[in-house]
Amino acid sequence: MKENMSSLVQKYNIPGPRYTSYPTVPYWEDKSFTPKKWEKSFQKAFIESNASEGISLYIHLPFCESLCTFCGCNKRITKRHEVETPYMESVLKEWRMYCDKLPEKPLIKEIHLGGGTPTFFSPENLQYLINSIFETANRAENHEFSFEGHPNNTTREHLQALYDVGFRRVSYGVQDYTMKVQIAIHRIQPFENVKRATEEAREVGYTSVSHDIIFGLPFQTKEAVEETILKTKALMPDRIAFYSYAHVPWIKGNGQRGFKEEDLPSGEQKREQYEMGKRMFEEIGYTEIGMDHFALKTDSLHKSMRENNLHRNFMGYTASKTQLMIGLGVSAISDSWYGFAQNEKTIEAYKARVEEGEIPVFKGHILNEEDLIIRRHILNLMCQLNTNWKTESLFFSGLPHSLNQLEEMESDGLVVKHNDAIEITEKGRAFVRNVCMAFDLRLQRKKPETQLFSMTI
């Protein structure tokens, strides 16, 4: 079995998207996109869904006091906290521009604060930001508000301030507890800090605490992953995101330096780290959710999977969906289901556009009919590990080509094909991204000349 998995990893460990969207960002058609098209797209989605399910907000807070060298996110390194207020005012001005273009008051079901380091901001400023958002919006009855917290600087005051405005879920970036790995990724973070932050969240009243753990980091061994999971077991977070390190040093400004390519585990070693981690998580009571996620049976993510309500977007897996997600802040991505839009990528360009009274999107994509069908199939595969074309609305002309692409995976036992459906086997869970790539016609039609994506394993 081990030899078989080893050969499969060698065969399928190729660059591929993580499929938080379809089409993936490199295949957005920038030439056909205009801010006016985006405005029509989000207005249509809002009219169709606001009253019935509400909308989601993603707010990007980009500042960090130090650079983590594993991180591929858009961030600005600074210790000057006077940047907080001007940036927040730009975000709020952007939000008001959206509200001015909507026919009624938004009903907000989800908010996620990402970064950067959201807890770079003071508790008072975070509370001010959220309270100001709700001057022009209402809270949905079953809302789910979450934020990313850095264990080293998330204080009880941060937790209380956000709890008081409706937040009940926090995600802590743990990554790895081994000192050699922490030094390589420039993220020195003792277990005691994670323990304190986790316990304080529960004492304040948070109902879901998540830990992010990464495998495949520089100098990381199976023993290091095992040590991290054993320490995680002592805290039993409600959710665990167990990610493969995405090595994308060609992306400008991602900070992935301080180690060499040969310092990284091989694809086969990464897969061994994951399989060991998965086994350990399941032994202590976690269930695997979609790709790279685990949850206790008491967590809403597990309940959503059981009830077939699991959703995936640019924030990752979520326990509920909204048709419209508005991204606020520098580099934030919005999603109307019919289209995507990304904000300016530098703080200076973002603030300048906002000050000019413009919604600060600089690129995007409006989905055509084929895109919309393929998007549904990829979402089904990522969330439910199966998809079907039993109705005409799920058939597209390129489907026979996609199914042909899956023949070798079927021979390898990764998928099972039926007359009008496919399902990913337990053995195939490790290769979900590869299965989705067979449906990705934009990728099939225009293979990239240079590497755009991290490796699938």
pLDDT of residue 436: 95
Closest CA to 170 of 229, 111, 127: 111
Q: Are 415 and 428 in contact (CB under 8 A)?
A: yes
323 is in an annotated binding site: no
Report how far apart, in Å, the C-alpha atoms of 387 and of each of 19, 23, 401 are.
15, 18, 16
- Judgement on whether residues 15 and 43 belong to the same structural domain of the protein: no
- Judgement on whether residues 107 and 10 belong to the same structural domain of the protein: no
344 is in an annotated binding site: no
383 is in an annotated binding site: no
Structurally, how many domains does the chain consist of? 2
- Judgement on whether residues 163 and 194 belong to the same structural domain of the protein: yes
68 is in an annotated binding site: yes
Closest CA to 21 of 451, 429, 376: 376
255 is in an annotated binding site: no
Distance CA 433, CA 9 (A): 13
Closest CA to 12 of 256, 267, 183, 258: 267
Sheet architecture: strand order including 421-424: 386-388, 421-424, 415-417
Residue 234 CB-density burial (10 A; 0-12 exposed, 13-18 middle, 19+ buried): exposed
- Judgement on whether residues 295 and 377 belong to the same structural domain of the protein: no
- Judgement on whether residues 407 and 297 belong to the same structural domain of the protein: no
- Give a yes or no: residue 344 inside a domain: no
Q: Domain holding 377: CATH number?
A: 1.10.10.920
- Judgement on whether residues 383 and 311 belong to the same structural domain of the protein: no
- Give a yes or no: residue 193 inside a domain: yes
Distance CA 439, CA 409 (A): 13
- Give a yes or no: residue 432 inside a domain: yes
Residue 79 CB-density burial (10 A; 0-12 exposed, 13-18 middle, 19+ buried): exposed
Residue that is last in its domain, among 316, 335, 354: 335
212 is in an annotated binding site: yes
pLDDT of residue 451: 52
327 is in an annotated binding site: no
111 is in an annotated binding site: no
- Give a yes or no: residue 360 inside a domain: no
- Judgement on whether residues 16 and 50 belong to the same structural domain of the protein: no
58 is in an annotated binding site: yes
- Judgement on whether residues 298 and 429 belong to the same structural domain of the protein: no
- Judgement on whether residues 161 and 264 belong to the same structural domain of the protein: yes
Distance CA 201, CA 206 (A): 5
53 is in an annotated binding site: no
Structure tokens, 274: 């994951």
- Give a yes or no: residue 302 inside a domain: yes
- Give a yes or no: residue 288 inside a domain: yes
Q: Where are the alpha helices (DSSP H) in 186-266?
A: 191-204, 222-233
436 is in an annotated binding site: no
- Judgement on whether residues 324 and 391 belong to the same structural domain of the protein: no
- Judgement on whether residues 450 and 388 belong to the same structural domain of the protein: yes
Q: Domain holding 268: CATH number?
A: 3.80.30.20
Give residue 388's domain range.
1-23+369-456
Q: Are 249 and 279 in contact (CB under 8 A)?
A: no
- Give a yes or no: residue 346 inside a domain: no
- Give a yes or no: residue 62 inside a domain: yes
71 is in an annotated binding site: yes
Closest CA to 21 of 255, 362, 267, 325: 325
Residue holding tokens 């304190």?
196
pLDDT of residue 15: 78
353 is in an annotated binding site: no
117 is in an annotated binding site: yes
- Judgement on whether residues 329 and 446 belong to the same structural domain of the protein: no
pLDDT of residue 250: 44
List strand residue ranges (DSSP E) for 319-368, in order. 325-328, 333-335, 339-343, 361-366
Residue that is last in its domain, among 289, 317, 335: 335
115 is in an annotated binding site: yes
Task: Identify the segments of the chain with pLDDT beneath 70.
Answer: 1-3, 30, 247-258, 448-457
Residue that is last in its domain, among 282, 317, 335: 335
